[in-house]
């Protein structure tokens, strides 16, 4: 992930393991202790999804971003954003931005996400998922390209 910067305190997943089944992402963010997220719902924020290893076998994955009053997200979580990505879009280097709603949405203290795997369990497939205040842009060029 050369050249790809994210705040380590705002990471929900850092490609630690293959997504072989539906599961919560590795990290939950305490919005009270993350200064960037204190204005969640007031300022534009995004969940950025970066495919760091291509997926195989599955039909799709769905990412649900939610908040809850408890760190385990098990009491009365509220889903704020959802994105389904088909297998054809789960190739190495693909990036997706999932906007978090502003305005009337009520965000609770802890922010996390769950990935649901549809179809056959993949044997490959890793993600880097983080909360960002703005979507980063980049352009890929073929090796040996002249950039003028």
Q: Say which CATH number the domain at 28 has.
A: 2.60.120.1110
> Is residue 2 included in any domain, yes or no?
no
pLDDT of 39 strictly over 80: no
Please, are residues 90 and 61 in contact by the beta-carbon 8 Å criterion? Answer: yes
- HSE-CB at 78 with a 13 A cutoff on CA atoms is 13
pLDDT of 74 strictly over 80: yes
pLDDT at 37: 75
Helix (H/G/I), strand (E/B), else coil: 23:
strand
Bigger pLDDT: 102 or 122? 122
Q: Torsion angle, CA of 67/69/72/75, rounded to 10 degrees?
A: -100
> Is residue 139 included in any domain, yes or no?
no
Rounded-to-integer distance, Cα 53 and Cα 1, Å: 11
> Is residue 66 included in any domain, yes or no?
yes
> Is residue 127 included in any domain, yes or no?
yes
Domain that holds residue 81: 14-131
Number of domain units in the chain: 1
pLDDT of 104 strictly over 80: no
> Is residue 3 included in any domain, yes or no?
no
- H, E, C per residue of 133-147: CCCCCCCCCCCCCCC
> Is residue 30 included in any domain, yes or no?
yes
Bigger pLDDT: 76 or 131? 131
């Amino acid at each position: 992930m050369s050249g790809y910067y994210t705040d380590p305190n705002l990471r929900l997943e850092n490609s630690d393991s293959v997504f072989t089944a539906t599961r919560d992402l590795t990290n939950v963010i305490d919005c009270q202790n993350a200064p960037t997220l204190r204005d969640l719902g007031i300022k534009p924020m995004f969940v950025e999804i970066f495919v760091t290893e291509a997926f195989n076998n599955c039909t799709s994955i769905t990412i649900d971003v939610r908040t809850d009053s408890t760190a385990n997200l098990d009491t009365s979580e509220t889903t704020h954003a959802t994105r389904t990505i088909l297998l054809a879009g789960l190739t190495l280097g693909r990036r997706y931005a999932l906007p978090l709603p502003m305005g009337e949405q009520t965000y609770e203290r802890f922010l996390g996400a769950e990935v649901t795997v549809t179809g056959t369990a993949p044997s490959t497939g890793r993600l880097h998922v983080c909360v960002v205040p703005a979507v980063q842009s980049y352009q890929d060029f073929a090796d040996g390209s002249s950039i003028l």
